[in-house]
Amino acid sequence: MKTTLLLATLSLLPNAYAYEAQLTKGQLTPSLEALLEKASADSGVSFDATDFIIVEKREWATSNYSMYIQTTVDVPVADTAVRIWSYKKTDQMILAEMHLDESHKEQEKSLSLKFLRAKFSKSALKSKQLSRSILQVVTDRVGTHPTDSRIIGMKLRDQWVKGDLVRKVEVRSRRGLHIISISLFQKKKIVKESYNEFPQADFI
C-alpha cells in the first residue's frame, strides 16, 4: 500500500493501510470527487464518492467547510475523514485533509456480504431488540466497576473497525466516562473498553 504525505504526517489512522494526505491552496478543486480521484491514483485503490456521507457542513463569512466519512453499506469506517476548507468568494481550496482506509475498501465486497449474511440492515441496526441487548451488556459491564458504576447518560454509534461491525458506546457516569466497544458479529462480545475519570478540581 502506498501512503502519500504531501505536507505533513497526519496520525489519525495508526495502521499500515491508511491513505493520508494534506493539500493546500491551488493544488486541486475543493470537491470530494477531485480529492478521491487523487487518492485513487496515489494508492491504487479505487475510492468512490458514493461510498462517503457528509457529516458536517458549515458556512462562515469568507469560507466554507465540509467533512465526509468513508462508509460501507452506509455504516461509517472508523477513523476516516475527508475535510475540505474553501474560500466562499472564489471557491478555491484553502486546505484539504484525507484519512482513508485502503484495506477496508479492498475488502468492501466481502464485508458487505458478511453484513447481509448476518441479516443486518439499516432497520435491524436500529431495532429495539438489538438496543435492549446491547444495553444489557453495557449495564452489566459498567455495574462491575468498583467505584463508578452508575449510568447517567449514554451515546452510541455503529462503525467498521478492522473488518468487524462494532457498536461503540460512551457511558457517562458520576466520576468518569466508560467507552465500551461491542462486536455485532461476534455475539455481542466486548472487543475493547476503557475508563477515563473526569478531571477533579483542586481546592485550597
Has residue 201 got a pLDDT over 80? Answer: no
Stretch 132-140: mean pLDDT, rounded?
A: 97
Confidence (pLDDT) at 200: 79
Distance between CA 182 and CA 179 in Å, rounded? 10
Residue 2 lies in a domain: no
Decide if 127 is inside a domain: yes
What's the pLDDT score for residue 3? 34
Check pLDDT > 70 for residue 90.
Answer: yes
Query: In this model, does residue 2 exceed pLDDT 80?
Result: no
How confident is the model at residue 17, as a pLDDT?
65
- Domain membership flag for residue 13: no
> Given this model, what pLDDT does residue 6 score?
33
pLDDT band at residue 202 using 50, 70 and 90 as cut-offs: low
Structural domain span for residue 22? 18-107
Domain count, the chain: 2
The last residue of a domain, from among 107, 140, 161: 107
Same domain, 126 and 73: no
Confidence of residue 15 (pLDDT cuts 50, 70, 90): low
Residues 25 and 63 both lie in one domain? yes
| Inside any domain, residue 8 | no
98 lies in the same domain as 29: yes
Cα separation, 60 vs 65, whole angstroms: 8
Q: How many other CB atoms are found less than 10 A from the CB of residue 202?
A: 5
pLDDT of residue 11: 40
Residue range 26-79, pLDDT digits in tens: 899 999 999 999 999 999 999 999 999 999 999 999 999 999 999 999 999 999
pLDDT in tens, 156-186: 999 999 999 999 999 999 999 999 999 999 9
- Classify residue 45 by its DSSP letter: -
Do 64 and 138 have their domain in common? no
**Which of 107, 133, 157 lies at the terminal end of a domain, its last residue?**
107
Range 187-202 average pLDDT:
90
pLDDT of residue 133: 96
Q: What are phi and psi of 162, to 5 degrees?
A: 50, 45
Provide the mean pLDDT of the chain.
90
Share of the chain above pLDDT 90, in %: 87
Same domain, 24 and 99: yes
pTM: 0.86
78 and 132 part of one domain: no
Question: Where does the pLDDT of residue 190 fall: very low under 50, low under 70, confident under 90, or very high at 90 and above?
Answer: very high
Total Cβ atoms within 10 A of residue 113: 10
What are the CB-based long-range contacts (under 8 Å, 24+) for 157-162? 157/76, 158/75, 158/76, 158/125, 158/184, 159/75, 159/76, 159/77, 159/78, 160/72, 160/75, 160/76, 160/77, 160/78, 160/104, 160/111, 161/78, 161/191
Whether 115 is in a domain gets the answer no
User: Is 141 a domain residue?
Assistant: yes
139 and 188 assigned to the same domain: yes
Residue 98 near residue 84 (C-beta atoms within 8 A): no
Q: Is residue 204 included in any domain, yes or no? A: no
- Based on the domain organization, do 142 and 89 belong to the same domain? no
Q: What CATH number should be reported for the domain holding residue 160?
A: 3.10.450
**Residue 11 belongs to some domain of the structure:** no
The separation between the first and the last C-alpha atoms of the chain, rounded to the nearest angstrom, is 55
